[in-house]
Chain A
């Protein structure tokens, strides 16, 4: 049996903590504090260190999933959390002003780690008005000569998140 480490990252409020709650086979660990800034308009708590969940795969392996804090002031946690990860799930909120810029920022920030491993992208809050978002993200990746799968996901949905995670594990296994 081996332990695999994956990291979920993305902007504050995109659904990282919820995704780990959906995925984890044991009660996850969350380090949340009450929000005291403009973020409190959309959520009452925010991750300040990391989230942690465990997933037991059918082949006997265990996946440890870590969620990063979203805000840049917690950048100190990003490198700590990323160390030793074999893959990254980047969640992008399609309802934000510039999802492509959000994706670019997280790819840039984790570039050293992602270059050594791989990544998949989950797009949240897709609706009838912002379906173009996925196309825009694909165009951006193509320009950057990056080839990562992009899927629309609902972080509350275990099967959505499992599919995203399994596609990352498949990429890592088969390239």
Chain B
């Protein structure tokens, strides 16, 4: 079974995980599940979210974060975080081939976003074995 077919079958699990992530806090306004080679697979967002470009960019960013960690002789890159004036992006690998990205504004604590992203990722890893 291909990874994408498996994700289609588990669509409800994916949708529920992303919805739960958004429900954690009003500050979390979007979540995106994409493949590590840059394809958007599922999203949940309060407003419109242009997912195709974001999926490709998060794929580049995650790969770079993981390589920089190795170059700095650190191991096990858990999260790549982009902290901005008006919000955060938190990226976390899900299994071998997926990445989840959480977008939040400043009304939520970064630790909370990381924790919620982690819970969603662990749930997806358990349910979709890719």
- 23 A–B pairs (Cβ distance < 8 Å), ordered by A: A29-B67, A31-B64, A33-B59, A33-B63, A33-B97, A34-B36, A34-B37, A36-B2, A36-B39, A36-B97, A37-B37, A37-B39, A48-B56, A48-B59, A49-B64, A69-B60, A71-B38, A73-B38, A73-B53, A73-B55, A74-B56, A74-B59, A76-B60
Given contacts A29-B67, A48-B59, contact A73 B35 (CB under 8 A): no
A73 to chain B, nearest CB (A): 4
Contact with A along B66-81 (1 / 0, CB 8 A): 1100010000000000
Q: Are A49 and B97 in contact (CB under 8 A)?
A: no
Q: Assess whether B119 is interfacial by the CB under 8 Å rule.
A: no
B80 to chain A, nearest CB (A): 12
Main secondary structure of the interface of B (DSSP, over half): helix
Q: Assess whether B11 is interfacial by the CB under 8 Å rule.
A: no
Select one of B57, B71, B97 contacting A34, CB under 8 A. B97
Contact with B along A13-33 (1 / 0, CB 8 A): 000000000000000010111
Q: Which residues of chain B from 21 to 70 have a CB within 8 Å of any chain A CB?
A: 35-39, 52-53, 55-57, 59-61, 63-64, 66-67
Q: Assess whether A77 is interfacial by the CB under 8 Å rule.
A: yes
Main secondary structure of the interface of A (DSSP, over half): mixed
**Across the interface, which residues of A come within 8 angstroms of B63, CB to CB?**
31-33, 48-49
**Across the interface, which residues of A come within 8 angstroms of B4, CB to CB?**
36
Q: Are B56 and A73 in contact (CB under 8 A)?
A: yes
Q: Are A76 and B56 in contact (CB under 8 A)?
A: yes
Q: Are A74 and B64 in contact (CB under 8 A)?
A: no
A111 to chain B, nearest CB (A): 22
Docked complex Cα distance between A138 and B59 (Å)? 36
A48 to chain B, nearest CB (A): 5
B6 to chain A, nearest CB (A): 11
Contact with B along A66-84 (1 / 0, CB 8 A): 0001010110110000000
**Across the interface, which residues of B come within 8 angstroms of A118, CB to CB?**
none
B14 to chain A, nearest CB (A): 15
Q: Are B60 and A49 in contact (CB under 8 A)?
A: yes
Q: Which residue of chain B has its CB nearest to the CB of A46?
A: B37
A124 to chain B, nearest CB (A): 22
**Across the interface, which residues of A come within 8 angstroms of B2, CB to CB?**
36
